[in-house]
A = this chain, B = another copy of it.
């Protein structure tokens, strides 16, 4: 198994947590430096024509891409411990919670988006920061709205076992930390994210613990 990732990529972080939960150790980890634009070079475009991280090669192709699709794949090929509950309704809830982060929040602030805002729309840093903080907050608020209301919420996002929803809650909160978003309005989200980050599969997957992360940030 060959895993294309980058320390700073929150989508790679999601897959790293899933790999850790499943006790899967990739044979090779290829660093694709998003900050230098390596994902847009021909070599990586050949791997993943979408030119985004992460990507995973497991045996012969096709390449696996999109973090949520990769997590579902890992769950289907390595069922224990499960990342989704068994009942369709519970599975739908977990997937929907995950997509608040993976579809409606995180894609709005990845490097390609920030670059487009800076270079094509000529938005200054204050405007870009306002944008990023707003959409991280919207994601956190949506999670809090569902998690604080639903009786299915337990120690974790769906009952007392970790699911794909928790992975996405944790990466949403990590993103909020990167951009110094005020998280006090989201106590349920924060309780769950804190419980997650105490677990080894989450903790050792943290962006700042990966090779390449600047030492100045890793405290």
Contact = CB atoms under 8 A, between A and B. Distances in A.
Interface in A95-128: 95-96, 99-100, 102-104, 107-108, 112-113, 116, 120-121, 123, 127
- Specify how many copies of this chain sit in the oligomer: 2
Contact of A72 (B51, B92, B121, B134): B92
Contact of A93 (B51, B62, B141): B62
A24 to B, nearest CB: 14
Contacts of A99: 66, 68-69, 102-103
Contacts of A88: 73, 76-77
A34 to B, nearest CB: 14
Interface string A145-164: 11001101000000000000
10 contacts: A49-B142, A49-B144, A62-B150, A66-B99, A66-B103, A69-B95, A70-B96, A72-B91, A72-B95, A108-B108
Interface of A: 45, 49-52, 58, 61-62, 64-66, 68-70, 72-73, 76-77, 88-89, 91-93, 95-96, 99-100, 102-104, 107-108, 112-113, 116, 120-121, 123, 127, 130-131, 134, 138, 141-142, 144-146, 149-150, 152
